[in-house]
Structure formats: C-alpha cells, structure tokens
Amino acid sequence: MGPRDRGLRAASRRFVGLLTAVTCTAGLALVGAPGAPAAQDPGAEKKKVDAQVDQLEDHLDDTSAALSNAYQRLHATESQLPAARSALSEAREAAAAADAAEAQATQELEIAKANEAKAESDLKKATQEVADGRERIAQFAAQIYQEQGFGQLDVALSSEKPQEFADRLAMVDTVLDVQNATIERLSTEQASLTALEDHVSALRADSDRKQKAAAAALAKAESAQAAAAQAQAALESLAATQQKQADGYEDQLATDKKQLAAMKSEQERLAKVLAKRAAEARARAEARRKAQAAKRAAAEAKRRAQQNQSSSGSSGGSSSGGSSSGSSGSSGSSSSGGSSGGSSTSSGYLSRPVHTGWISSEFGMRYHPIYHYWKLHSGRDYAVGCGTPVYAAASGTVIQTTYTAGYGNRVVIDHGLQRGVGLATTYNHLSSIVVGGGYVSRGQLIAYSGTTGSSTGCHLHFETLVNGSFVDPAAG
C-alpha cells in the first residue's frame, strides 16, 4: 500500500470519527459559557457543531484533494496504456517476423548444406575420375617411352600376311582412338573438377552467410520475445494499478458523498435551530419594545397628571420636560456589531477584508470535473500575495482561530444578529494569525494571507455565513 493509498484510508477513518461526533451532538446538551444553565443552549450548540461541520468540510476538502491526485494518477496510467499496448503489439509482430525469418534462414541453411554435401560428393567423384585418367595417361606415356615409339605400329608393319597386317593396323587405330578419348576426357574432367571446386567454394560461402543470417535472426527473435514479455508484464502491472486506483477512487468517492450529505443535513438542522432562535429573539425584542412603550406611556401619563396638579395650584407654572420624550426613543435602535469602525463596501454591511488584490473566484455552484457532481464554492477568493494584511470585515467576536487540513490557518468571527439574521465571516489559508479571541472592531488587523491547507497559491478565501449557511459575500 502506497503513501497516497494510506492517506485515503486515514482520511476515511477521520471522516467516520468526525461524522459520528457530529451526529451524536443532535439531541445532546452542549457546554455553554461559564454560568450557563444546564438546559440546551441552541447558540452554544450551533457554535460547537459549526466547528465540527467545519472540520468535516476541511477533511472533505483534504480527501477530495487526495481523490483528485488518485484520479490524476489513474488518468496518467490510462494515458500510458495505449503506448504499452502498441509496444506489446509491435513486439509480438517483431517476434513473429523474427521467428519466420529464423525458420526461413534455417530452411535455406539446410538446403545449402545439402547442396554443399552433394557438390562435395560430385567433387570427390570427379577428383577420382581425373586421378584414374591421369593414371591411364601415365601408363600410356610409360609404354611409349619403353617401346621407343608406337610399338603396335611396328608390330603391324612387321606382319608377314596381309590379313594380319590389316588386323594389327585396325588394332593400332583403336588403341590410338582410346588413348585420344582418354586424353580428351581427362581434359574435360579437369575442367569439371575446377568448376566443381569453385561451386563448392561458393556453396560454402553461401552456407556461412546463411548460418550468420540465421544466428542474427534467432538473436533478433529472442530479443523481440523478451521485449514482448517485458511489455506484457508492464501492461499487466499498469492494468493492476489502474484497477486498484479505480476501486479506491470509487469507494472513497461514495464515502465522500455520504459524509457530505450527512454534513449538509446537520447544517440544515442547525439552520432551523438558529432561525427559531432568531425568531424568539425578535419576539423578545418586540416584547421589550412594547414593555418600554407601555412604561414610557405610564411615565408620560404620570408626568401630565403631576403637571395638571401643579397648574391647578399655580397659574404661573411653565413646562420644562418637553425634550425628555425625544431622547427616550433612542434606546434599542442600535444592533450589536453595527457600523462602527471602518468603512462598508457599496454592496452592504461588510467591509473588504483586504485593501489590495483582485477577486479571482466568486461564490457559486461549480460542476466538479473529477467527481462529476455540482459542488459549492463557498466563498470569494482574493488574489493577494502571501503576507498581505487581512482585516475584520465587521465588528464582532472571534469564536475560532485554528488550523485545518482544508482551510489551513483560519479565523471565524461572529457578528451577532444583523438585520434580523445571525451573521459570521471566515478568513482562510492564512500564513499567520494575530488575534486569539475576544472582540474585534471593523477594520482591525486579524491575520496575514497565505497558502496553508488545501491551496494552490497565495490568496484569501473569504466566506460569509447567515444563520449557519454559506451565502454570497457580495450580498453581505
């Protein structure tokens, strides 16, 4: 098992553990601030589970990165398969051609050897015939030398009878004819012998050439077969790697989607809790407003009664409380984390978290080219260099400063109830954080941008959450 495969399995185990932790929080009382009652506190539950959901999403991003790498390796393997198959096919063709060439060369070698053997046999026979002819000529020459001339002619001339002379003369002619034929045959056999010797030499050279060609063809065939075997082994290894990566990819992708669905379900549950809490807060605010209005009305009635009593006792009295009602309506008009500090952007309540850089990626749904499903890009990316100052987009309380595998160094600020909804912002992939918690003002330095976590370069990933759900920062 390679490091990447172990990373996939480890990420899967982390997911299961974190998912269990999130689901176990449903229906349980969470620990709130010091002195909080033992009953459920939706706000405390929201913050705690939000942190766990953030961890799940971070690990999801981490695993997605690992899956992306596995998918890229899978495609790299697939891109090598055609070349491996082509090499295997070429090697097999070369092996087949070499085998055929070796078989042809072997056949030609056998024919050449047979021709050489026949030629050597013919040469041996011709050599023997020439030797026999030479022996006969030598005997004939020896006879002539011994008899000091043509002894048969002398015998014929010394014949006493005509018939004997004719017979002897015919015999002499025959002997001369035989001797002449022997000399001619000897010359012919000598020429044939020379030609046979040349032919045998040519056959031997041809046999040697064919032997070398057969050896070269055999070596080529063996090399081609070895290359084919190597290509086959490489192809099988690639196929096994491809199958292993594909299996791991499919299994982890299924787990990834299940965990994402569970995480989204939990976020929806918490969003309902927060919405209910906001409605209750608004109801309490309305009750307080009505109580304050009733109190002001009672105070006004009392003041008027006192004024009437004073006027009935003294006709020269004058009113001195005309300005009191004007100041009483100012309470409750401000909201927590209001517009104090910094300057808002033209789009709404939130200020720009960085003073430089441009927006490189907006909020919105994206079709993931690897996982083949729609996935939310949950914030806005600002293209800034590492070390760029990052400022609070609005006043609020820092509720989280942490490091996660997906988001890297991260700051989460709760801005409280704004315009009737719970508002929070996150600042991600930071190189360093300069705040540890507590209240911060709009425009206050909180961190420096970076590329920590699952990031391909220096930038700031800025998110806004309304009642626990991601919304477009442009609408903030």
Please report, for residues 129, 171, 182, 350, 376, the alpha-carbon distance to residue 138 in angstroms, rounded to integers and kept in the order given. Answer: 14, 20, 11, 133, 116
The DSSP secondary-structure symbol of 459 reads: B
Q: Does position 258 have pLDDT exceeding 60, yes or no?
A: yes
How far is Cα of residue 80 from the mean position of the Cα atoms in its chain?
A: 12
Q: What is the pLDDT of residue 13?
A: 52
- Which pLDDT score is estimated for 164? 74
Q: How far apart are CA 361 and CA 373, in angstroms?
A: 19
Q: Mean pLDDT check: name the lowest of 44-53, 155-164, 280-289, 328-337.
A: 328-337
- Whether the per-residue pLDDT at 411 is higher than 90: the answer is yes
| CB distance 193 to 130 below 8 Å | yes
The gap from C-alpha 232 to its chain's centroid, in whole angstroms, comes to 23
Give Cβ neighbours of residue 196 (< 8 Å, ≥ 6 apart). 119, 122, 123, 126
Q: Answer yes or no: is pLDDT of 393 > 90.
A: yes
pLDDT in tens, 290-317: 999 999 999 999 999 888 888 776 554 4
User: What is the rounded distance in angstroms from the CA atom of residue 276 to the CA atom of residue 268?
Assistant: 12
Distance CA 14, CA 405 (A): 12
- 292-299: long-range contacts (C-beta < 8 A, 24 or more apart)? 292/331, 292/332, 296/325, 296/328
pLDDT at 67: 63
Task: Please say if the pLDDT value at position 68 is more than 50.
Answer: yes
Report the C-alpha gap between 309 and 301 in whole angstroms. 12
Per domain, the residue ranges of the chain are 46-256, 350-471
CA distance 31 to 44: 7
Q: What is the pLDDT of residues 332-375, one digit of tens each?
A: 333 333 333 334 443 478 999 999 999 999 999 877 655 667 77
Q: Which residue has the higher pLDDT, 318 or 269?
A: 269
CATH topology of domain 350-471: Glucose Permease (Domain IIA) (2.70.70)
Q: Contacts for 437-440 with beta carbons within 8 Å, 24 or more apart?
A: 437/397, 437/398, 437/399, 437/401, 438/397, 438/398, 439/395, 439/396, 439/397, 439/398, 440/392, 440/395, 440/396, 440/397, 440/398, 440/413
| Better pLDDT: 169 or 304 | 304
Residue 285 above 80 pLDDT?
no
Higher model confidence: residue 26 or residue 409? Answer: 409
Tokens of 469: 């759900």
Binning pLDDT at 50, 70 and 90, where does residue 443 land?
A: very high
- pLDDT on residue 102: 79
Q: How confident is the model at residue 275 (pLDDT cuts 50, 70, 90)?
A: low
The dihedral over CA atoms of 69, 73, 79, 84, expressed in degrees to the nearest 10, equals 180
- Rounded to whole angstroms, the Cα distance separating 8 from 252 reads 7
- Return the minimum-mean-pLDDT range out of 98-112, 257-271, 424-438: 257-271
Mean pLDDT of the chain: 74
Question: Strand ranges (DSSP E) for 252-406?
Answer: 358-361, 364-367, 374-377, 380-383, 389-391, 396-404
How many Å apart are CA 266 and CA 335, to the nearest integer?
A: 29
- C-alpha gyration radius of the chain: 56
Per DSSP, which regions of 405-456 are E strands?
A: 408-418, 421-433, 438-440, 445-449
Rounded to an integer, what distance in angstroms lies between the CA atom of residue 269 and that of residue 52? 14
Using the predicted structure, report yes or no on whether residue 58 has a pLDDT greater than 60. no
State residue 141's pLDDT score.
Answer: 66
**Burial classification of residue 471, based on how many CB atoms lie within 10 Å of its CB (0-12 exposed, 13-18 middle, 19 or more buried):** middle
Among residues 421, 392, 413, 419, the alpha carbon closest in space to that of 334 is found at: 419
Q: How confident is the model at residue 30 (pLDDT cuts 50, 70, 90)?
A: very low
